[in-house]
Amino acid sequence: MQIFEALRQDHDKQRALMRVLVDTSGESSVREEFYTQLKTELKKHATAEERYFYAPLMHSDATVQMSRHGVAEHHQLDELLSKLDNTDYSSSAWLTLMKQLQHKVLHHLEEEETEFFQQAGKVLSMSEKEQLADDYLKEMDESS
C-alpha cells in the first residue's frame, strides 16, 4: 500500500462521520458519540499525516508550500474543534459550527486528493510511498 491509499481510507472515514453528524439534532448520545469519534480521528490523522506525509515533502522545493498550507489548514480545523468542544450539543450554534467544520475538512481532503497527491507522487519514490504508508498506519494503530 502507498501513503495515498492509507490517507484516502481515513479521509473516507472522516467524510462518513461528518455526514452522520450534520444529520443529528439536539443533545443526543448519537451526536456525542460520533463527534467524539470524529474528533479523535481528525486529531490522530493530522498528527500522523504531518509526520509521514507533510514532513518528508517539506524537503522538496516542489512540495514545501503545499505542505505548509496543509499544516496551516490542520490548525484551522483544530480551532473549529475547540469551538465545538465549548458549544453545547443542544445549541443551534453547534450544528452551524459542525457544518463549518465539514466544509473546511471536505475542502482540505479534496485539495489533498486532487492536487497534493499528484505533486507528492512526483517527489516521492515508490519505496518512500510504501514506507510512509507503513509508518502512517503503524502510528494510527498505536494511537487508537
pLDDT in tens, 42-97: 999 999 999 999 999 999 999 999 999 999 999 999 999 999 999 999 999 999 99
Q: What pLDDT is attached to residue 19?
A: 96
Side-chain half-sphere of 15: how many Cα atoms within 13 Å? 11
Quickly count: other Cβ atoms within 10 Å of residue 135's Cβ.
Answer: 17
Residue-range definition of the domain harbouring residue 101: 3-142
pTM of the model: 0.93
Q: Mean pLDDT over residues 114-141, rounded?
A: 97
Cell of 18: 461528518
d(CA 54, CA 126): 16
Number of independent structural domains in the chain: 1
Q: Number of helices (H) and strands (E), helices first, in the chain?
A: 7, 0
Count of other CB atoms within 10 angstroms of residue 126 = 9
